[in-house]
Amino acid sequence: MLKREQAEALCEGTDAATAYDALLEDHEPETRAEDIAAMFGRMRPRLVALRAAVLGSGRDPGPLTGEFAQEGQLRLARKMAETFGYDFTRGRMDLAVHPFSSGSGADVRITTRVVEAEPFNCLYSTIHEVGHACYEQGIAPHYALTPLGQGVSMGVHESQSRICENQLGRSAPFTGWIFGQMQQEFGDLGVDSPEAFHAIVNRVQPGFIRTEADEVNYNLHIMMRFDLERGLIAGSLDVGDLEEAWNARFVQDFGVAVDRPAHGLLQDVHWSVGLFGYFPTYALGNVYAGCLMQALRRALPDLDAHLARGDVTPATDWLREAVHRHGGLYPPRELIERACGAAPTEAPLLDYLDAKFGAIYGL
């Protein structure tokens, strides 16, 4: 396998402990697989316990039902992008099957997607990609066209998209504001209160697709991929055995049998294009976001009052000053430590998830 050979070649003459570490370095500098594995080992029991408690609570807010026209969704998506600080004079928004953000400096573009029966796909993929885009747009202009003129790592990048999408965008105050915006655009949603709407936005349920996973399940998807790709690079798992290994692990971790490859190992493009070492940065981004949100709330004790009015500016201003403007100046962990005043750990994320979903599901 070519990526295995590449990893072994990159590992030579470096302090990387394994060939996989050499691939990880491309996406999250100064990070080692053994440290990620230890962190995942600490996270997994609490995530599994929280999921079991939620699914055993007897509560299910159900999905949002109805048809939501593309034009209305895109109007709201543009409003969300502007609310989170996206500068349309330095970018644009288009449609794509799988949303993404690309570019830096004066040209940072985003895409979103529309499913007329599932408006949260559009709204929250837009907010997510805007988090990435605003990171790039917020880098100090004098770093442009230098090695410092882009985000420092995929983990830090993901922290910006996830804090916007989840900690801010799915918070009770902000979903209360979105509830009103959606009523103005689409009329009666069949939901009787902002609290019920907040529960629907944050519904926990088993599912095959990583990008559609709720906050409780999402990191478990990443942990599975991390273990499988480490096996592929180490040579303990052959490509020909990957589908069987995926399906067995999915039943073990999620209690559901994969019904077809599109819902299994073919759902992500990362392995097919050779992006090994990328997946763990998604979970690192969630961990960093947990730390940043804890620091942000210390700095902005009246944040919820702003969010309830649809005003995210105090939070995005703080993120721009603490994270965005530095570009690639500091290594990832140092950047987060400077922003938060302490080295990043998984504890703030796990505490946030316990508190949030405990309140929603009456745990």
Q: Which residues are catalytic?
A: 129
CA distance 16 to 23: 10
**Burial of residue 241 (number of CB atoms within 10 Å: 0-12, 13-18, 19+):** exposed
**Burial of residue 142 (number of CB atoms within 10 Å: 0-12, 13-18, 19+):** exposed
Collapse the DSSP code of 93 into the 3-class scheme (helix H, G, I; strand E, B; otherwise coil) and give the result: strand
Place of tokens 């069987």: 244
3-state DSSP percent of the chain in helix, strand and coil, to 5: 60, 5, 35
* Amino acid identity at 80: M
Task: Single out the residue of 343, 296, 51, 281 nearest to residue 168, CA to CA.
Answer: 296
Decide: 47 and 220 in contact? Cβ < 8 Å: yes
Detail the DSSP E strand segments found in the chain.
93-95, 101-104, 107-112
CA distance 110 to 94: 7
Interhelix angle for 215-234 vs 280-299, to 10°? 140
Task: Single out the residue of 303, 313, 305, 304 nearest to residue 85, CA to CA.
Answer: 313
* Amino acid identity at 263: H
Task: Single out the residue of 329, 323, 326 nearest to residue 299, CA to CA.
Answer: 323
CA distance 310 to 173: 8
CA distance 185 to 277: 42
Find the farthest-apart pair of alpha carbons in the chain and give their distance in angstroms, rounded.
Answer: 63
